[in-house]
Structure 1
């Protein structure tokens, strides 16, 4: 990714080889234009005031402090909710491909990598949020196993679908009042870029429940903590 441009229509995307039954998706590296190292050099040069309210909860990066920008219109997933999420994902996260949509400072995708995911793709439109995300990756020593995409979530998902990308987990956490919330869920349900046994996890306000079925996906579990709910979807 070049931080100023994200994907262009002509960007080449390497596709994984066909998978055998039961085999997880291999780690996918970003094309050279999307590499984390290039992003670090250009994004991290932007001076912003960051705060450090979060940490990696478990795994190889346990205890690492994560930075976020309190001036952004973002709502980081709390430590407690992340812990609940990954307690549920624990039996399946090893060697998985993880997509963190509306990633903010990257706490969820980084937690996935810390706990054994093979690869995480972070989609975030805000340049300021990417400053925090890139710093967090550097703090944890994360390199090629991370892919950064500076683009809005809706257009990024369309690109993944076109490129026939598949993920074992998709974590979707747009701002609760975002106008892309409904069309993003509709797109994810209509053409899910998921592996055959993959899960879509949607974080949403407890007072704004999502439908039991979204296109080809059905909700099989919901967990509420405070004002937030995690809804888990899989193929019908």
Structure 2
């Protein structure tokens, strides 16, 4: 597992030991970042269900200023810590061992907001629509923000949302579904 582009291109990342996480493949990662913008001009990202942190570290390499990583598994949190030290990015990351809903409420209390939200939970275990709606209500998602959702192909994510536009909905390898949203003008007006 490696970083594909940007400042840390080619750097290896450690994977979470065991079979509890499923890293996003390089092919999927490359395709996703071509859609959401090959490079960023700063801003914050939230990597929920972060696993090894592969998606968040890719975002940092491509210009995101800071990433908040969240995972409830101790091995994942340890791996993210190791990867941040290996890349010397400790000052640009925050790592929390927490449940996703608890983490987003904690972020809201701190008045954080994000230009990029990365959602790659265990397949079939999370209601994406409920989670995204909660983040919108908590005002965590900035104007024009991107939301990346990786899911099992059998899971159908909503293509009609009052505050979000579907930018891409596709699948890879016959099993992985990808849905990418962007906050629309109604969502941005709601946040004002």
What TM-score do you get using the length of structure 2 for normalisation? Answer: 0.85
For residue 116 of structure 2, give the secondary structure of its aligned residue in structure 1: strand
Equivalent residue number for residue 9 of structure 1: none
Equivalences for residues 212-223 of structure 1 within 5 A: 212-214=159-161, 216-223=163-170
Name stretches of at least 5 consecutive residues in structure 1 with no aligned partner.
1-53
Partner Cα distance (2:40, 2:157) in 1: 24
Q: How many residues align structurally?
A: 183
Shift of 1:208: 1.2
Equivalent position of 1:103 in the other structure = 50
Q: 1:231 aligns with which of 161, 168, 179?
A: 179
2:42–2:64: 8 Å Cα contact kept in structure 1? yes
Corresponding residue SS for 2:148 = strand
In structure 1, the partner of 2:28 is 81
Write out per-residue CA displacement over residues 180-213 of structure 1, whole angstroms, 9 at most, x where no aligned residue.
6564244235445111111111111122120113
| 1:206 alignment partner in structure 2 | 153
Q: Which residue of 2 aligns with 1:93?
A: 40
- Deviating beyond 6 angstroms after TM superposition, the runs of 4 or more aligned structure 1 residues are none
Structure 2 residues not aligned, in runs of 5+: 185-192
Give the TM-score normalised by structure 1. Answer: 0.70
Q: Which has the higher helix share?
A: 2
- Residue number in structure 2 paired with 1:128: 75
